[in-house]
Amino acid sequence: MADPTQSLIGQYGPWAANLPADPPALSYRRPDSKGLKSWRKKGLKTVHTYLGAPDIGAQPQVTVKRKYTYDGLDIEELSWQLPYGRPTEAILLKPAGATGPLPGVLGLHDHGGNKYFAKRKITKTGNDQHPMMSEHQTHYYEGKAWANELAKRGYVVLVPDNFTFGSRRVLYQDVAGFSWGPWRTDDLSDENPEKQENIDVYNEWAGHHEHIMAKSLFCGGTTWPGVFLREDQRALDVLCARPEVDEERVGCGGLSGGGLRTAYLAGLDDRIQCAVCVGFMTTWRDLLLYKSFTHTWMAYIPILPNYLDFPEVLGLRTPLPTMTLNNNQDQLFTLEEMQRADGMLREVFAKAKAADRYRGNFYEGEHKFDLAMQADAFDWWDQWLNA
């Protein structure tokens, strides 16, 4: 059990943790918060104010780069150009020969300390899978590409690369001539990027670059979650526009960084009819006192904790179906605060008379989205999107 008298910031921890009211100023759990519609309106406005999500234009034009069939699935390799950065690449999977209308799910890849890879973390498009991705899926997903497995159940699953990952990553050449700490980018090369030793070096470099990116985004008047949200919304546009997708039956989900993105996307965009947040549900207090060092700069929205606790951002989607999946020994969070976050969501959904539309499950083990968890997630999507 975490010691409330100890913290990552020493004697300042208890003081800082008590700065926001509990419940926070706009919490639906407060006795003076009565109307769900009014609460959601105020909450959404406040989150968007501090999120600072940038305007990145309307639905992008999509290019189909390649089509093929693998392991019972029709697969399309897609790309689209946003107003900044290199083109976004994505994988779309659906049952072979299916024409729809089918439910759709936006599959959100994890962080995993690996920014070289993105969509490949949760998909498999051939027998020539990169060995690092085979290892990754074994470690986190019990050997499965979960996006493929969901597609086989009758879904159209779109898995895009997101900001600073995969096709959207920062290349050494982009920052040539700059240096910080131990890094001189002109000593690094973008050649032979698929070699494991080069990927390992890149991922270490990219990890050290995160604080620079976050500070730069703050200076640009936005936040990392704000950029995540907008890029995921444009991917959601792409998914909903597919002729074989029933846009009234669309969900999203993912592990870890994908769970973080689920909390923001599903909490703020009600096109997501059913959400599964895996391995990223805790409280601001948990991060403040104990676990900020285990997380990236991608999680935080300054000032927002005064108004909503982290679970309540996802709770803004109430009464739409919502599931959180947690691991009792998850090294990224304390169990007490994961349980406290689950309690907050239960309270919000119960107050909205929608208790049956929230489910929070706990499993033995460390940070993962294993087969038992996948089965529960898939059943939840089936219940609400594919009955």
H helical segments located in 103-183: 131-141, 146-151
**Predicted confidence (pLDDT) per residue in 377-387, tens digit:** 999 999 999 97
Other CB atoms within 10 A of residue 340 CB: 16
pLDDT at 37: 96
The CATH class of 1-387 is: alpha beta
What's phi and psi for 324, nearest 5 deg? -120, 140
Structural domain spans, the chain: 1-387
Q: What is the rounded average pLDDT of the residues 24-36? A: 95
- For position 2, what pLDDT does the model report? 65
Give the whole-angstrom CA distance, residue 161 versus residue 77: 12
Binned at pLDDT 50, 70 and 90, residue 183 comes out as confident
Encoded tokens for 188: 């690094």
DSSP string, 231-267: HHHHHHHHHHH-TTEEEEEEEEEEETHHHHHHHHHHH
> Parallel, antiparallel, or unpaired: how do β-strands 156-160 and 102-107 relate?
parallel
The answer to whether the beta carbons of residues 126 and 145 sit under 8 Å apart is no
Over residues 103-146, the pLDDT tens digits come to: 999 999 999 999 999 999 999 999 999 999 999 999 999 999 99
CB 281 within 8 A of CB 338: yes
Cβ pair 88, 79 in contact under 8 A: yes
- Whole-angstrom distance, CA of residue 342 vs CA of residue 363: 13
Q: Specify the pLDDT at position 4.
A: 62
Would the pLDDT of 18 be above 80?
A: yes
Q: What are the tens digits of pLDDT across the range 277-329?
A: 999 999 999 999 999 999 999 999 999 999 999 999 999 999 999 999 999 99
* SS3 category, 191: coil
pLDDT greater at residue 268 or residue 3 = 268
